């Protein structure tokens, strides 16, 4: 068996993973994927094969207080048993924040890890979990190379005017600026678009990553020009449980008039707002689309309105619009949401093709549409694995650089 790369995406309640077989010229295929979910309540590990069949399962006692080392031990043991002792070549991590310095994937050393830990105040809900997974793997497999892939890196080239916050200058010096997130997804989508429609990819395109977290990215020739998330992943669109952009005066009001603590407001803005907060029903778009409750409709309507409004703003950043790409859970699977967003963009010359949209075709706009609308499934894990391989094996990677930059490096199923 040839060697493999493990990708880890560690969050507060789950660790998602995927395992890729390496070939001489890039990645050959995804061998397995899965997650450890229920962290903090009833942890449960499931590894599946390419067809979705369960390969391995592990359950811990409910309410077991487990650190990342305890959680990752059975995963690494299963991989060793599954692939053989020497087969795991490296681990690639999704790390949410690369700050101002880290503009590309990097091999993790103690010095790099220490530097990334300094960014915890910029992403207190994500960065500690990402780094805990890195440190756990370092303890469990000290000789295994590890690579960090940053969600912010793709947006690193945004112009100063786009990334500046209108606060007193001294705060910019400590890193208060707009960074943008979902960068691994956008990089993957840019590569896919370059492969599928090179002329369009060279133009002005807005990609819509619409999952539980949601954002837009304005790309020109595959480079990020502007994006809706900013200093934190709270900014921009209405999300499953996050509020998106909000008058900062509203935060002051909650603190002053309601006497809420800072952590209570933080919890509200990250976990109780967005689709869940407005509907009072669910953060899950499928549940809301199936509901006849008027509050579900209001939440969906606001979600769509804000996407269309931000597309207007990003079209200004791009100086026009040639293409629109829908991706992630809602963007890939919800024809009604795509149709509703497109209907609000008729002024831009967007014409949705109802039949193609219902069929989830690759192109869902009419031939006469001034803006071509496409649906592209995202794959952040494949992007992480590709970067990890390119960082660790640059000579091999060099011969396949173009391939890995522009294409889905592996077949997903």
Select from 200, 229, 285, 376 the one that contacts ligand ADP (CB under 6 A). 285
Active site annotation includes 151 = yes
Assess 304 for contact with ligand ADP (CB under 6 A): no
Other C-beta atoms within 10 Å of 79: how many? 22
Q: Tell me if 84 is assigned to a ligand binding site.
A: no
Query: Least distance in Å: CB of 212 to ligand ADP?
Result: 4
Query: Least distance in Å: CB of 294 to ligand ADP?
Result: 19
CB nearer ligand ADP, residue 282 or residue 315: 282
Tokens of 376: 């592209």
Assess 228 for contact with ligand ADP (CB under 6 A): no
CB nearer ligand ADP, residue 223 or residue 360: 360
Assess 27 for contact with ligand ADP (CB under 6 A): no
Site string for ligand ADP, 333-352 (x = CB under 6 A): xx------------------
Assess 240 for contact with ligand ADP (CB under 6 A): yes
- Report which DSSP code applies to 352: B
Site string for ligand ADP, 71-110 (x = CB under 6 A): ----------------------------------------
Paired with 19 in beta bridges are 6, 32
Using CB atoms, what's the residue nearest to ligand ADP?
329
Q: Tell me if 16 is assigned to a ligand binding site.
A: yes
Q: Tell me if 26 is assigned to a ligand binding site.
A: no
Query: Least distance in Å: CB of 330 to ligand ADP?
Result: 4
Q: How far apart are CA 118 and CA 120, in angstroms?
A: 6
Select from 286, 370, 398, 412 the one that contacts ligand ADP (CB under 6 A). 286
Q: Binding-site residue total for ligand ADP (CB under 6 A)?
A: 13
CB nearer ligand ADP, residue 180 or residue 203: 180
Q: Tell me if 245 is assigned to a ligand binding site.
A: no
Helices (H), 292-399: 294-318, 328-333, 335-344, 354-358, 380-392, 394-399
Q: How far apart are CA 282 and CA 212, in angstroms?
A: 11
From the candidates 151, 226, 322, 379, give the one annotated as an active-site residue.
151
Q: Do residues 150 and 96 make contact, with C-beta atoms less than 8 angstroms apart? A: yes
DSSP for 389-405, written as a single string: HHHH-HHHHHHTHHHHH
Query: Least distance in Å: CB of 378 to ligand ADP?
Result: 8
Q: Tell me if 330 is assigned to a ligand binding site.
A: yes
Rg of the chain over Cα atoms, rounded to whole angstroms, equals 21
Query: Least distance in Å: CB of 96 to ligand ADP?
Result: 13
Q: How far apart are CA 337 and CA 410, in angstroms?
A: 29
3-state secondary structure of 43: coil
Nearest-10 crossing angle of helices 110-117, 127-140 = 160
3-state secondary structure of 168: coil
CB nearer ligand ADP, residue 232 or residue 390: 232
Paired with 37 in beta bridges are 44
- Work out whether the CA dihedral 280, 283, 286, 287 comes out positive or negative: negative
Q: In what order do the strands lie in the sheet with 204-210?
A: 223-227, 214-220, 204-210, 323-327, 372-375
Please choose, out of 115-123, 244-252, 327-335, 365-373, the segment that lies near ligand ADP by the rule CB under 6 A: 327-335
Q: Tell me if 116 is assigned to a ligand binding site.
A: no
3-state secondary structure of 2: coil
Other C-beta atoms within 10 Å of 159: how many? 10
CB nearer ligand ADP, residue 265 or residue 289: 289
DSSP for 234-275, written as a single string: TSSS--SS---S--HHHHHHHHHHS---HHHHHHHHHHS-HH
Assess 370 for contact with ligand ADP (CB under 6 A): no
CB-hemisphere CA count at 13 Å for 141?
22
Q: How far apart are CA 1 and CA 143, in angstroms?
A: 20
Query: Least distance in Å: CB of 208 to ligand ADP?
Result: 12
Q: Tell me if 333 is assigned to a ligand binding site.
A: yes
CB nearer ligand ADP, residue 40 or residue 121: 40
Site string for ligand ADP, 188-227 (x = CB under 6 A): -----------------------xxx--------------
Q: Which segments are annotated as binding site for substrate?
A: 94
* Catalytic positions, written as ranges: 151
The residues binding ligand ADP (CB under 6 A) are 211-213, 240, 284-286, 289, 328-330, 333-334
């Amino acid at each position: 068996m040839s060697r493999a790369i493990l990708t880890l995406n560690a969050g507060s309640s789950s660790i998602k993973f995927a395992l890729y077989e390496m070939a001489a010229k890039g990645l050959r295929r995804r061998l397995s994927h899965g997650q450890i979910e229920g962290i903090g309540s009833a942890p449960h590990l499931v590894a599946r094969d390419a067809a979705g069949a369960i390969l391995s399962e592990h359950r811990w006692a409910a309410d077991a207080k487990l650190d990342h080392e305890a959680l990752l031990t059975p995963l690494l043991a299963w991989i060793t048993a599954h692939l053989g002792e020497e087969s795991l070549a490296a681990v690639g991590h999704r790390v949410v924040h690369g700050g101002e310095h880290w503009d590309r994937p990097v091999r993790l050393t103690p010095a790099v890890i220490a530097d990334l830990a300094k960014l915890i105040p910029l992403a207190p809900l994500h960065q500690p979990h990402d780094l805990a997974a890195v440190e756990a793997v370092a303890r469990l497999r000290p000789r295994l190379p590890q690579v960090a892939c940053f969600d912010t890196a793709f947006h690193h080239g945004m112009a100063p005017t786009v990334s500046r916050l209108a606060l007193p200058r001294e705060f910019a010096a400590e890193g208060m600026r707009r960074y943008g997130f979902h960068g691994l997804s956008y990089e993957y989508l840019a590569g896919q678009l370059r492969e599928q429609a090179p002329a369009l990819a060279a133009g002005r395109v807005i990609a819509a990553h619409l999952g539980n977290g949601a954002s837009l990215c304005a790309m020109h020739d595959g480079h990020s020009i502007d994006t809706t998330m900013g200093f934190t992943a709270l900014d921009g669109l209405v999300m499953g449980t996050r509020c998106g952009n909000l008058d900062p005066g509203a935060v002051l009001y909650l603190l002053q008039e309601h006497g809420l603590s800072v952590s209570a407001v933080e919890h509200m803005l990250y976990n109780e707002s967005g689709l869940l907060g407005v509907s009072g029903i669910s953060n899950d778009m499928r549940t809301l689309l199936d509901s006849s409750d008027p509050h579900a409709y209001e939440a969906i309507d606001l979600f769509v309105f804000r996407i269309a409004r931000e597309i207007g703003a990003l079209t200004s950043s791009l100086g026009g619009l040639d293409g629109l790409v829908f991706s992630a859970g809602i963007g890939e699977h919800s024809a009604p949401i795509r149709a509703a967003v497109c209907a609000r963009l008729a002024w831009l010359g967007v014409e949705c093709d109802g039949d193609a949209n219902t069929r989830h075709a690759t192109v869902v706009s009419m031939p006469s549409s001034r803006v071509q609308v496409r649906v592209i499934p995202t794959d952040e894990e494949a992007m992480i694995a590709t970067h990890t391989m390119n960082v660790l094996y640059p000579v091999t990677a060099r011969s396949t650089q173009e391939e890995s930059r522009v294409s889905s490096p592996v077949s997903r199923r």
